[in-house]
C-alpha cells in the first residue's frame, strides 16, 4: 500500500500531486500526444526530472532503454540513467544506488515479466525503488511486463479466448510494490478477461486489474487510482465471491466462480480499492 508521508498538510498535498505509481497496459503512445509518458514526466518533476530507466525485462535492454531515454530527453528531463543490469550481482553497484538516492522517477519497460522479476526481485536496487515509491518520494511507472510485476503475485503467462480454467494462467511472485492488486496487461486487446478471472479465483483476496494498451491505472494516494489513456481498466473484485471450484478443479476443467463483481473504467474515472467502490470521475 502506498504511504504518502510528509511533515505538514502542505507537504502532503505536494507529494500527492507529484508522486504516483503508474501501471501501464503496454503500447503507450510514444509519438503523438504521449499522454501517459508526459504524465509520468510531469509527476517526476518535469524539467527537474531525474529519471532511472530499468529495461531488464527486455532481451535488448540497451535498445529499449535508449528509446525511452530519447523520449524523456526530448521532453526536457534534467538527467537520465539506464540501469542496464544483466546480472543480479550488478544491482549492488554503487552507481545505481547513488543515482536512485537523487532520482525523482523510475520507469520499468516492457518485455518478459519473468525475466524482470528474476533479475530484480529481492535485489538492493529494487528494494530501494519499492521503498521510495511506497513512501511517495518518486514517480514509478511500469509498462506491459513492468506493469505485470507490480503486485505481490503476477500473471507470468497463459492463454486467452477460453472459459476460465486453471491452465489458462501461470502465476508467480511479483515485486510487491502494490501488494493488493493482481495485474494483467494488453487486456481487451488480447482477450484476457478469462485469464484474469482465473487468476483471481486463485487469489480472491487480491483485486484484479486488467489494463488495455495505451491506458494507465495511476495510483496517487492510499487506496485510490485513476484511469488515463485511450482504453479502459477492468476491475475484477472477488470480495463478495461466494463459491469457486478452483481448489478442486482439474487443470483444464471450466471453473465455477459465483458473485464476482466487474467494473469497466475509462479515462478520468477513479476507483477506491480500499472500500471497493467507484469515486466521481474527474
CATH number of the structural domain spanning residue 90: 3.40.50.880
Q: How many domains does the chain have?
A: 1
Domain presence at residue 182: yes
Domain presence at residue 254: yes
Residue with cell 463459491: 243
Q: How many CB atoms lie within 10 A of CB 143?
A: 29
Q: How far is CA 235 from CA 17, 98, 181, in A?
A: 24, 38, 10
**Nearest CA-CA partner of 231 in 17, 37, 29, 19:** 29
Domain presence at residue 146: yes
Low-confidence ranges of the chain (pLDDT < 50): 4-17
| Burial of 48 from C-beta contacts in 10 A (0-12 / 13-18 / 19+) | exposed
Domain enclosing residue 104, as ranges? 12-269
Query: Residues with catalytic annotation?
Result: 144, 162, 186
Domain presence at residue 104: yes
Domain presence at residue 6: no
pLDDT recorded at residue 10: 41
pLDDT recorded at residue 282: 64
pLDDT recorded at residue 222: 75
Domain presence at residue 274: no
Q: How far is CA 58 from CA 2, 93, 97, 110, in A?
A: 27, 20, 22, 6
pLDDT recorded at residue 56: 97
Domain presence at residue 234: yes
Q: Answer whether 178's CB lies under 8 Å from 153's CB.
A: no
Instruction: For residues 259 and 204, give the distance between their C-alpha atoms in angstroms, rounded to a whole number.
Output: 12
φ and ψ at 62, to 5 degrees?
Answer: -65, -40
pLDDT recorded at residue 5: 41
pLDDT recorded at residue 2: 58
pLDDT recorded at residue 19: 86
Q: C-alpha cell of 61?
A: 535492454
Domain presence at residue 275: no
Greatest CA separation found in the chain?
55
pLDDT tens digits, one per residue of 97-109: 999 999 999 999 9
Amino acid at each position: 500500500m502506498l504511504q504518502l508521508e510528509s511533515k505538514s498538510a502542505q507537504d502532503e498535498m505536494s507529494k500527492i500531486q507529484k508522486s504516483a505509481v503508474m501501471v501501464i497496459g503496454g503500447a503507450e503512445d510514444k509519438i503523438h500526444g504521449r499522454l501517459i509518458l508526459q504524465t509520468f514526466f510531469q509527476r517526476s518533476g518535469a524539467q527537474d526530472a531525474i529519471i532511472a530507466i530499468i529495461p531488464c525485462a527486455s532481451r535488448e535492454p540497451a535498445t529499449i532503454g535508449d528509446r525511452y531515454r530519447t523520449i524523456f530527453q526530448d521532453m526536457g528531463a534534467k538527467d537520465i540513467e539506464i540501469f542496464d543490469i544483466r546480472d543480479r550481482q550488478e544491482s549492488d553497484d554503487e552507481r545505481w544506488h547513488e543515482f536512485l538516492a537523487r532520482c525523482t522517477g523510475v520507469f520499468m519497460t516492457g518485455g518478459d515479466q519473468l525475466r524482470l522479476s528474476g533479475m530484480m526481485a529481492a535485489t538492493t536496487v529494487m528494494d530501494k525503488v519499492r521503498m521510495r515509491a511506497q513512501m511517495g518520494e518518486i514517480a514509478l511507472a511500469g509498462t506491459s511486463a513492468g506493469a505485470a510485476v507490480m503486485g505481490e503475485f503476477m500473471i507470468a503467462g497463459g492463454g486467452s479466448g477460453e472459459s476460465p480454467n486453471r491452465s489458462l494462467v501461470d502465476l508467480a511472485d511479483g515485486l510487491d510494490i502494490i501488494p493488493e492488486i493482481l495485474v494483467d496487461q494488453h487486456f481487451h486487446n488480447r482477450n484476457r478477461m478469462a485469464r484474469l478471472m482465473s487468476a483471481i479465483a486463485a487469489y480472491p483476496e487480491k483485486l484484479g486489474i486488467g489494463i488495455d494498451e495505451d491506458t494507465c491505472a495511476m495510483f496517487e494516494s492510499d487506496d485510490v487510482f485513476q484511469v488515463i489513456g485511450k482504453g479502459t481498466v477492468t476491475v475484477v473484485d472477488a470480495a463478495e465471491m461466494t463459491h469457486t471450484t478452483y481448489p478442486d478443479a482439474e487443470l483444464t476443467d471450466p471453473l465455477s466462480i459465483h458473485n464476482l463483481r466487474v467494473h469497466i473504467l475509462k479515462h478520468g474515472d477513479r476507483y477506491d480499492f480500499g472500500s471497493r467502490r467507484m469515486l466521481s470521475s474527474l
